[in-house]
Amino acid sequence: MVKAKWRSVDGIVLLNKPIGLSSNQALQRVRRLYQAAKAGHTGALDPLATGMLPLCLGEATKFSQYLLDADKRYLTCIQLGKRTTTGDREGEVLTEDSVPALTDESLEEILNGFRGEIEQIPPMYSALKHEGKPLYEYARQGIVIERKRRRVTISNLTLVSRTEDTLTLDIQCSKGTYIRTIGEDIGEALGCGAHLHSLHRISTAGYLPENMMTLEEFEAIAEQGYDALDAHLITMDTAVEHFAKVELPESDTVNMMFGRTVPSPVSLEHEAVVRMYDQGTQRFLGLGQIKGAFIRPYRLVNTSEFSL
């Protein structure tokens, strides 16, 4: 059998990750469909979770950190009355308590304590590392590692629906937020404990949920060939749209792509990062950094591999 050749392909894929797959497993499935020589995801979703997982192919991997750092939005269902070893439905039940009678007012008061800037202790069942090993590996051995509190921002927390023992929440949050921990902490605030029943990531960095596709959809498109697949790539500069745009004349474009500092056509704060484009072609060149009246290369696209 002839082994398929990896190819140079650059852009971002918005995958609606299915339940049961790790983020890396999902990434590898999509990478093989595209036969992309280089690929990476932008913040893991647990196998239990579904929803938006932006995948960076080729030169787009240079900008994946900005998607990792971006705000995210989730729809989650919290099961009240049961604490589990993992903080979600896949763990063993540790305790069971009756759920108190809740009024809309009393529940809203509890939820209000989780809005704005809050502190969290990361869960043991997480990919955070201690001495080079993920915390979940210690947790599986019954070892508890002390974790530092971290501050995160919950910019929106809306109660979508509720039953006697579940809460469905729409949460928009900053990077590093553990929705599982929010669920557990709400359970403690209610005095009955809780765990995560389901988690769906609605969006990341402002990408629209209607633009993501399932693995099955990508697999069906792949049967039509690479051109059909490539038509669903999102340009890599969308990952850095929050930076100011700068257009460089042709001579400065050439110098920049050779790694040289060029005059800045705009006046911005010193050390500000900008996204750069060739003035004539509007081709994305990468990121530059303002140094007084100049722009120095910061993170450039490799033009020899640039295919979009």
Per cent of the chain over pLDDT 70 is 97
In this structure, are 89 and 124 located in the same domain?
Answer: yes
Q: Which of 215, 237, 259 is the last residue of a domain?
A: 237
What is the pLDDT at residue 143?
83
Confirm if 179 and 171 have CB atoms less than 8 A apart.
yes
Domain identity same for 45 and 82: no
Q: Residue 134 maps to which CATH number?
A: 3.30.2350.10
pLDDT in tens, 85-111: 999 999 999 999 999 999 999 999 999
Note the pLDDT of residue 305. 44
For residue 112, give the H/E element and its range.
Answer: helix 104-112
Give 201-246 pLDDT, tens digit per residue. 999 999 999 999 999 999 999 999 999 999 999 999 999 999 999 9
Whether 174 and 217 map to the same domain: the answer is no
User: pLDDT tens digits for 123-170?
Assistant: 877 777 887 788 778 878 888 888 889 999 999 999 999 999 999 999
pTM: 0.91
Residues 88 and 191 in one domain: yes
218 and 150 share one domain: no
- What one-character DSSP code corresponds to residue 145? -
Could you tell me which residues come within 8 angstroms of residue 274 by beta carbon, excluding any fewer than 6 positions away?
243, 244, 245, 246, 266, 268, 287, 288, 289, 290, 295
Which of 204, 228, 254 marks a domain boundary? 204
**CB of 17 within 8 A of CB of 217?**
no
β-pairing, 194-204 with 50-57? parallel
Structural domain boundaries enclosing 275:
243-300
283 assigned to some structural domain: yes
Choose one of 187, 204, 221: the last residue of a domain.
Answer: 204
- The 3-state secondary structure of 150-183 reads EEEEEEEEEEEEECCCEEEEEEEECCCCCHHHHH
Q: Are residues 178 and 194 in the same domain?
A: yes
76 shares a domain with 169: yes
**Catalytic site residue from 46, 88, 185, 237:** 46
Do 189 and 100 sit in the same domain of this protein? yes
Question: Both tokens of residue 100?
Answer: 């108190």
Domain membership of residue 308 (yes or no) is no
Q: 125 with 190, same domain? A: yes
- Same-domain pairing of 98 and 171: yes
46 is catalytic: yes
CB 230 within 8 A of CB 9: yes
- Report how many domains make up the chain: 3
143 & 58 share domain: no
Nearest to 196 by CA among 300, 74, 104, 286: 74
Does residue 306 belong to any structural domain of this protein? no
Same domain, 214 and 194: no
DSSP element (H, E) containing 110: helix 104-112
